Structure 1
Amino acid sequence: MKDFFRMMKKVIILVGSPRVNGSTVKIVEQVNEILTRKGMATEIVLLDWLELVPCRGCGSCEDSGECVQKDEMQELWQKVESSDGLVLASPTYYSGVTAQMKMFIDRTGKAKVIWDYKRNLPAGGRFSKGKRAMVISVCGQSGEKWLTGPLTEMRSLLHDLEIPVHSIIKMHGSDVGGGLFEGRPETRIEIVDATERFIDGTEEIALYSKDEKDA
């Protein structure tokens, strides 16, 4: 029997794709359906629909812990802080995440990691406490190598926030043939299996292997 206190009650899903009918959103919708069927409250946030601006690198948040740019990022951070589970999903744009996801990564990393780091506090503090994460990376071209950049960016943020990643969905070839779903039943199988691993929360996926850590 799973530990009741490890069960997630609320999951927020941040989507970096600006395409509402794209492959990333279709995968997210299936993940969301599984989570809600398991009794979790969920919210899908399309970052492209929010009024967000990029990090200016001014360093103000390193002193105050607050971002001087007042837009919808503050409300988004509140939603993330109040959740038990966090899903980051992005397609691959030029070997990296989308501009929308990059804004979240850059500003969250600055405002929620650096301030704590400088004061020898646990990274992320209340923002990260008790959370688990799942990462979804999608690419139009065939070949898992094209997913390396976006996965590294999203996982690096979660690593610095000390939010453990329990599941990763890697989907490539969305622009090949009939896409990820037509004639590819393995796509649905992978989505279900990965979401179940996220819900279970017993296996943590390290950002670096032991050899990489020791290097």
Structure 2
Amino acid sequence: MPCNVVVLISGSGSNLQALIDSVAQDGNPARIGAVISNRADAYGLQRAKQAGIATELLDHKQFDGREAFDAALIQAIEAHQPDLVVLAGFMRILTPGFVQHYAGRLLNIHPSLLPRHKGLHTHQRALEAGDSEHGCSVHFVTEELDGGPLVVQAVLPVMADDTAESLASRVHQQEHQIYPLAVRWFAEGRLRLGAQGAMLDGEPLPASGHLIRT
């Protein structure tokens, strides 16, 4: 049985493109049923249309508060009967009710080695902190912002001449590797959220998730 995925975006959708490319591979049971954006100018909507994927626009500015928007968002997502909801640059803080509704079926990617550098401007903050390593993390979403059990992290060395821009570029490349990997694991039934945290092939993952060093 295919695993039906709904992807939420707000921007250019480069991670969405990586997922679109990944699901086209032989034997990948993931299927992107719909792409939903809260911004009309999100280029990711064009990427989805070019791939023949259903798209929907839900402008958060048309709603009276976060709860009303999230209720409408759940309704829009449920119309596509998702097995998994994937946040791919979706720039909205989700309400506890939304997160609870999709508990164990909601993945996010963050451009840092969580739990370090939650929030924004992660590459600049990694440089300012003098970090020797940086990277990106896929995690199950919980009510804690950029919290939730880690699934997989790509770790890369910080170079002496790195800028925030060069780091961002290299981290982006890794995001495009590990997000499709995590989604495929979920679609294949290998990845689950258990009482103890993220589980891969029935075994608990370490607190740092599965580490990939580049």
TM-score (norm 2): 0.48
The structure carrying a bigger helix percent of its residues is 1
Q: Which has the higher strand share?
A: 2
